[in-house]
Each structure stands twice: as structure tokens, then as C-alpha cells.
Amino acid sequence: MACLDPARRSIGVWTISAGNAGQGVAYAAREAGVPCTVVTIETAPETKVERMRALGAKLVPASFDACWEAMERRTFPGVDGTFVHPFDDDDFIAGNATMGLEIVEDLPEVRTVIAAIGGGGLVTGVALGVRARKPQVAVFGAEPETAAPGAASFAAGKASPFPQWRATFVDGAGGKSVFPRMWERMRPVVDGSIVVTLEETKRAMRVLAERARVIAEGAGALSVAAALRCEADAGPIVAVVSGGNIELATFCELIGAAPSSEVR
């Protein structure tokens, strides 16, 4: 943000988000003293909307389809400023790569790493960091059954859409397609995507709360849901839990409906 020229600083920055990336950009903009606009996916939960607004962002609600198209075009009607892409951005990906470096540093014996796929920036960055130090480590994405373009892309060997997409409580991950540029980044470093059911995701949210005392939103729990179904010889497994922005009432309802079961 500090590198923006004076003219651009007065206009500010903008991004597109269901809430997580939007909060990060809004926080950075506030610290840099520049205006921030977030084109907000209309399915974003109120807790994320409130936090973006509290950080000083101007919110422009839009449909999922309009937001997805705007991310490809990098423009949105009536919104000006420097666009910060929520995943197709080298700086975002490099930041995520630091997680991969920390994983290898903290757990040198790691054999498998799993991270959610939304646009692909998280899993690609983590994979780049891990592979830089431990190229033999397997890295997988995790997606919900209702939004799994990553798995479709790995199956087809090319960036692919997911026409069966539908909105669920897993609002922070899973898109309608994989952008071609992201596929080219992801393909060399990610081994595939593990698709999990919504019930498995709820169970993972409950496991995290019961065992680790961590409140994770649906997207944050995808990696744990995938890890719970991995074969024993895939371990040690690191599941990246990224996303804890969920309404408490919704969280309680979801984990209340999930079975409590023993986890090794």
C-alpha cells in the first residue's frame, strides 16, 4: 500500500471478497491511510460484513456471478482505485508461501499438507513454500462437494468449471471455476484436490472445537475434513485451518448437528 503514488492513494484500493480477503485488504488500507472498497459477495455472512465495515471499508454488495466475472475482468462498474486481487496476486501467494516454510520448519517430518481451495492462492502459496524446502511432501487442496472446480480441473488436466455449484455455509472456499492463470500456478506444485461432503465438514468443525478449542468456519475446516479421511500412511499430516469468521449461532447449529466421534 505504501508504494501507491499520491494520485492513487487518494482514490484508494478495492477488492472482491466474501469476507476473509476483504478484511485483510481493509486492515492494510486503514494502516496505510488509504480508502478501501470491497465488492462483497451477497452470500457473505453478516459477521464478515460487520468486520469489513468496522475496518473502514466501503461495501458494494453484488451477486456471486457478478463478483466472479469481475475477478476475471478486474473491473467493476462504479468502483475505482488500485485493484487487489483476492487470490490471483503474486504478493498474496508469496504471503501464503510463508506458511509452507513455517510448516516445514516446525514439523520437518511432515509428509502431507492440505489446504482449502477457493481461488487457489492459499494452496498454491503453501505448496510453493513447502516444496521449496521439502519437494517430496505431498500437497493437496480440499473442496466441498458443492463447489469443487479444483478436483474437476485435476481430473480434466486443464482449468475447468463446476456447473453444479451451489451456495452453502462453506462460503469462503469453492468457486464456479478455476482461473487459467491460477491453474498454471497450481498444477506444478499441488498433487490434487480432496472433495469432502458437507457432513464431513460439519464433523471437522466439531472436532476442531472439541479437540483444539478452535472455532473454524466451513472453509477453515475443509482441510481437517480431508485429513480425517486420508490413509494412515499419509502422515504426519498438516491441515491448514484458514478462516474462523462465522456467526456463533450458525456455528452452534452446524456442530450441534454433527456427530461426535473418536479421532486418532
Q: Is the model more confident about 9 or about 260?
A: 260
| pLDDT greater than 90 at residue 79 | yes
Q: Is the model more confident about 145 or about 245?
A: 145
For residue 261, what pLDDT is reported? 57
Instruction: Please report which confidence band the pLDDT of residue 260 belongs to, taking 50, 70 and 90 as the band edges.
Output: low
Query: What's the whole-number mean pLDDT along residues 120-148?
Result: 97
- Map out the domains of the chain with their CATH numbers: 6-83 (3.40.50.1100), 90-256 (3.40.50.1100)
Report how far apart, in Å, the C-alpha atoms of 31 and of each of 26, 28, 35, 68, 88 are.
9, 5, 10, 28, 23
Model pLDDT for residues 217-236, shown as the tens digit of each residue = 999 999 999 999 876 568 89
Chain mean pLDDT for the chain: 91
For residue 78, what pLDDT is reported? 93
| pLDDT greater than 60 at residue 142 | yes
For residue 172, what pLDDT is reported? 84
| pLDDT greater than 60 at residue 5 | no
